Amino acid sequence: MSTALLIEQILNGLQFGVMLFLMAAGLTLIFGVMGLINLAHGSLFMVGAFACAAVAAATGSFWLGLVASLAAAAAAGAVIEILVIRRLYDRDHLDQVLATFALILIFSEGTRWVFGSFPLYLDIPPLLSGAVRLPGGASYPLYRLAVIGVGVAVAVGLYLLISRTRLGMRIRAGESDREMIAALGVDIRTLYTLVFALGAALAGLAGALVGALQSVQVGMGEPVLILAFVVIVIGGIGSIKGALIGSLLVGVTETLGRFLLPRFFAVFIEPSDAAAIGAAIASMLIYIVMALVLAVRPQGLFSANG
Amino acid sequence: MTREAIVTAVLIAALLAAPFAAQAIDEPFYITLATRIAILALAATGLNIALGLGGLVSFGHAAFFGIGGYAAGILATHAFNGEPLFLGLPGTNDMIVIWIVGALAAGAAASLIGLISLRTSGVYFIMITLAFAQMVYYFAISWPAYGGEDGLSIYVRNAFPGANTLAPMPFFLICFGVLCTGLAAFRSLMNSRFGAALQAGRQNEVRLAAVGIAPFTIRLAAFVISAMLTAVAGALFADLNRFVSPSMLSWHMSGELIVLIILGGVGRLGGPLAGAALFVLFEFALGGITERWQLFLGLVLLGVVLFARGGVMGLLAGRARHG
Amino acid sequence: MRNILKTGLAAFAAGTLSIGLAQAEPVKVGMITTLSGGGAGLGVDVRDGFMLAVKQVGNDELEVIVEDDARKPELAVQIADKMLQSDKVDILTGIIWSNLAMAVVPNTVNQGTFYISPNAGPSQLAGKMCNENYFNVAWQNDNLHEAAGAYANSAGHKNVFIMAPNYPAGTDALTGFKRMYEGELAGEVYTQLGQTDYAGEIAQIRDSGADAVFVFLPGGMGIAFTKQYAQAGVGAPLIGPAFSFGQDILGAVGDAALGVKNTSQWSKDIDNETNKAFVESFQAEYGRLPSLYASQGFDTANLILSAMEKADVKDKDAFRAALKEADFKSTRGDFKFGNNNHPIQDIYVREVVKEGDVLTNKIIGVALEDHQDAYAAECGM
């Protein structure tokens, strides 16, 4: 195994982690501010990808598609917040789980109704195709580096938004004391809609960025949703910092586990069996990590609530 | 009798009557449908012990459902091909033995999972139970010995003393009998000191600790009992389909079990049965009408959450006395 | 969905329903297939191909009931029970996925109902568990992979990297490939089922120095891999079964698929009258090119129709014999069943090309002629 390959794998892990962060940031923000478990977050991811693919196909521009993905996911988020989610804030988690589970069914079948049963085409923009040479002899796809860049930018942007702006101040206030913020005369309904739309837009952005690498099809959000939940639970629910650390931890663990475990087993047993057993354990690995983290720290690594 | 008891009794009677009516009009499939309702209601009743009484929202009960299913599948396979299981133990096709083995296996798994998971609470508990179920799921998919993702067929439905389980009616009656036993167990649990402590712990943990009861032990016991009941349902489900596969272990299945309870009414004796009946009938009827049945199922579920709080039992029998 | 499509109704909408001619009870076919969720494209194609054949013949003694299994084995079993017990169908068909087929088929055929598979062909059903009432019109699961192995030999590849998801169909695929392939393996990797990011595996492929890559990654997994592989610019040619390069997903893969060699028992340029007419009428009816799944659905319907001409479905032995004769005009040209009721057929190598703006496949050779599956000997029939 060469160093270049290892560096490439670590970058892959980071890139995957950054994708998860875009999903997890919205989820954890929505949970932290509104106390809501949103299973339909994966559907917003899918909405972003479909919007990007449709607009890119119509206009020929990936960048317009990207804008459309943000707009469509934010709009979808705002609409479901106003129509459905708003009624769930004072319910217990069970009702939220059921309602957002129902939203998944509606979104999936609705999307299939509009776009048909076959996957859509979405490719990376020509500007970002090709690979870059890295020090140490490795080369790495430019698009994936750009994705890492976007993730870092979003993380910094969220940090500034929350720590430096008026909206951020209200969000922080909302996390710590909901009654107080209402008493201060802040329009809490609008604030909640805004936060939900922001989280949705991030999910939509992730969907568009991933859609260009993978396939744009119904149900694409569900595996990511589960992983995003794993991330925010590891990181501590409600904590953006925790979501970032958790995402990178899960991304790197998952990628390196898939890469290294089969090689590790190949030392002892037949390569064919080692590949199968290594893959089996690799697929369980992040759940094992999650169970370990929670066994030691039941509130996750950086719980917002102490 | 309270209104709730009447509604529950009527539901049980209706479930028992439906297959006989189906037989009378020569529509044997409705017996199968009623059997499915009975089994899912049993699985949800198991979950209802943890979720309804203890407030432990387990998003991983599919693991126990699947363990029960695999107990049936694996034991039946070994009975069928005559190969010993391990340590020279033979397989079996006796349903009662299978239920016991399935319940014990799920109980052991639940003790282990519970020991770690019950240290957490709220959303963390939801997610850590999901994590454990996902581990079991991926293990089942990639473990080739019992079929992996292809699953395991049970060629002949397992046997029950004195009954021809291959015929739909006797098998329904077995499932119905087990469901009634499960409901009775739930009821006596709910009204016992143990149940009172469990429900008190859901509402006020501090008070419970103050009277000298350790909430952890009570919850662990409830979680294990809950898993064992769900596992028996899993074994019956495998026998109903004559097939078991990792999809019984998937997070969709965990979600469906929770949905059944919320649909019916959380922590209510009749809740799981009402929820299972409604869900299965909707799935069947909508699937027969339109290709887009999942869209309408989603709308129905959404309608129930938003406008029918407390589920079917809430509508029919009023709000629960406590909780 | 309960589409009771009386074929005559569809063909002659103006009320010219054929009167009389009803010698026997109509044949009822139950189709359980995947019409929702991520894998819906395959089910839709099988159904559309099947219905096209039914409509063309205009035989109103064939009644088809279609329902969606949402790719859940338990739901498939429930629908099968319903169709067998309540609708009392004579023939079941339609299942796309092997794990669903394993849940439904053994029970169905043991009860004496025919099951005709338009897609899945798990090895058990071809070997030890073969059954006189089970017919497979598509292929045994290993076939296309075996052909890919044979093709790798003839193309002179000596060091191939092979990869599939870690589930039974995936391990079968790699076993099938290795059964025919004679060179060295540059690597053998199992990915997670449903995985959509292959950056890690592609890095391993690059590092392995392979001279070709064989992947079995159906559906969305294949779309993701092919795009990422092309973007990474590894260079080693890609080989796969048609499942990752069928007409149903080529549009979503885009130019990344150009030049990929894939193996299939069917292609839209197989030169025979039936196939030409099929491709044209499918396009006219549905406004898209057919995939191999559509051709399998079409052939399945025609097989059933051919048996209906010869025998009454209530006379099981006669109908079974009529099915076994496979006396229908297949889109594949020659078609016959082996001892285990699985096809003996040619398997082609195709290349992904662009015709105008449309990506599609073109035959470049035959990988295996009159190929029979490896499990036929284990079947006691």
**Whether the Cβ atoms of residue C310 and residue C303 lie closer than 8 Å to each other:** no
Q: pLDDT for B96-125, tens place per residue?
A: 999 999 999 999 999 999 998 998 888 889
Q: Please, what is the average pLDDT of chain B? A: 90
C5-139+270-337 and C143-264+346-378 have identical folds = yes
CB nearest A102 (choices: B130, B135, B302): B302
**Domain B3-317: which CATH number of 1.10.287, 1.10.3470, 3.40.50, 3.30.460:** 1.10.3470
For position C24, what pLDDT does the model report? 56
Digit-coded pLDDT (tens) for C53-110: 999 988 778 999 999 998 889 899 999 999 998 899 999 999 999 889 999 999 899 8
Name every chain A residue with its beta carbon within 8 A of the beta carbon of B139.
280, 284
Give B-chain residues touching C103 at CB under 8 angstroms: 151, 153, 241, 243, 245
Whether C78 sits inside 8 A of B290 (CB atoms) is no
Range in A48-57, A288-297, C320-329 the model is least confident about? A288-297
Give the minimum alpha-carbon distance from B21 to chain C in angstroms, rounded to a whole number. Answer: 14
Q: Which residues of A touch C228 (CB under 8 A)?
A: 213-214
C332 Cα to chain A: minimum distance (Å): 24
Partners of chain B (3+ Cβ pairs below 8 A): A, C
- Mean pLDDT value across chain A: 88
Q: What is the pLDDT of residue C172?
A: 87
Question: Rounded to whole angstroms, what are the CA distances from C213 to A275, C241, C255?
Answer: 17, 12, 18
pLDDT band at B309 (very low <50, low <70, confident <90, very high): confident
State the DSSP string of chain A.
--HHHHHHHHHHHHHHHHHHHHHHHHHHHHHHHH----TTHHHHHHHHHHHHHHHHHHHS-HHHHHHHHHHHHHHHHHHHHHHTGGGGTTS-HHHHHHHHHHHHHHHHHHHHHHH-SSPBP----GGG-SEEE-TTS-EEEHHHHHHHHHHHHHHHHHHHHHHHSHHHHHHHHHHH-HHHHHHTT--HHHHHHHHHHHHHHHHHHHHHHHHHHS-B-TTTHHHHHHHHHHHHHHH-TT-HHHHHHHHHHHHHHHHHHHHHHHHHHHTTS-HHHHHHHHHHHHHHHHHHHHHHHHHH-TT-TT-TT-
Which residue in C1, A113, A126, C178 sits closest to B293, CA to CA?
A: C1
Give the whole-number percent of chain C exceeding pLDDT 90: 70
- Residue C10 — pLDDT band, cuts 50, 70, 90? very low
Nearest neighbour of B295 by CB, restricted to A97, A110, A283: A110
| Touching partners of C (3+ C-beta pairs < 8 Å) | A, B
Residues above pLDDT 70, as percent of chain B: 98
> pLDDT category, A189, cuts 50, 70, 90?
confident
Question: Does residue B145 carry a pLDDT above 70?
Answer: yes
pLDDT higher than 90, residue A246: yes
Counting Cα atoms < 13 Å in the Cβ hemisphere of A112 gives 25
All partners of chain A with 3 or more CB pairs under 8 angstroms: B, C
pLDDT score for B299: 92
How many inter-chain contacts (A to B, CB under 8 Å) are there?
A: 126
Looking at the complex, report in whole angstroms how far the Cα of residue A10 sits from the nearest Cα belonging to chain C. 9
Q: Does residue C40 sit at the A interface (CB-CB below 8 Å)? A: yes
User: What are the distances in angstroms from CA C12 to CA B262, C2, C8, C9?
Assistant: 49, 21, 6, 6
C5-139+270-337 CATH: 3.40.50.2300
Which residue among A87, A109, A291 places its CB closest to the CB of B294? Answer: A109
- Nearest residue of chain A to residue C254 (CA atoms): A121
pLDDT confidence of residue A1: 56
Confidence of residue C17 (pLDDT cuts 50, 70, 90): very low
Mean pLDDT across C277-299: 95
Q: What value does the mean pLDDT take over residues C122-141?
A: 93
Sequence ranges of the domains in chain B: 3-317
- Predicted-complex ipTM score: 0.84
Residue pLDDT, tens place only, B238-254: 999 989 999 999 988 99
Answer whether A284 sits within 8 Å of B299, measured CB to CB: no
Could you tell me if C253 and C245 are in contact, meaning their C-beta atoms sit under 8 angstroms apart? yes
pLDDT at B320: 62
Write the residue in C201, C203, C220 that is nearest to A119 by C-beta.
C220
> With the CA atoms of A85, A88, A94 and A100 taken in that order, what torsion angle do they form, in degrees rounded to the nearest 10?
-10
C-alpha distance from A225 to closest chain C C-alpha (Å): 13
Specify the fold of C143-264+346-378.
Answer: Rossmann fold (3.40.50)
Distances (CA, A) of A124 to A129, C99, C287: 7, 35, 28
Mean pLDDT of C271-298: 95
